[in-house]
Amino acid sequence: MDTKTFKRSLHQSEQYHRKGFGHEAAVSALLDSEYKSNLIQEIRDNGYTLVRGNVTIRLAEAFGFCWGVERAIALAYETRQQFPKERIWITNEIIHNPSVNKNLRDMAVEFIPVDERGQKDFSIVEGSDVVILPAFGASVQEMQLLTQKGCTIMDTTCPWVSKVWNSVEKHKKSDYTSIIHGKYQHEETIATSSFAGTYLIVLNLEEAEYVCRYILESEESEERRSQRKAEFLAKFKNAHSDDFDPETDLVRVGVANQTTMLKGETEQIGKLFERTMMRKYGPTTLNDHFMSFNTICDATQERQDAMFQLVDEPLDLMVVIGGYNSSNTTHLQEISIEKNIPSYHIDSADRIGPGNCVEHKPLNQSLTLTENWLPKGPLVVGITSGASTPDRVVSDVVKKIFALKSAAVA
Residues with catalytic function:
188
3-state secondary structure of 177: strand
Alpha-carbon distance of 322 to 64, in angstroms, equals: 9
Number of H helices, E strands in the chain: 14, 16
Alpha-carbon distance of 158 to 165, in angstroms, equals: 11
The length of the chain is 410
Alpha-carbon distance of 257 to 161, in angstroms, equals: 9
3-state secondary structure of 104: helix
Alpha-carbon distance of 226 to 190, in angstroms, equals: 28
Name the nearest CA neighbour of 88 among 100, 64, 65, 104.
104
3-state secondary structure of 287: helix
Name the nearest CA neighbour of 181 among 35, 78, 293.
293
Name the nearest CA neighbour of 138 among 82, 194, 201.
194
- The arrangement of strands across the sheet holding 253-257 comes to 199-202, 177-181, 253-257, 290-292
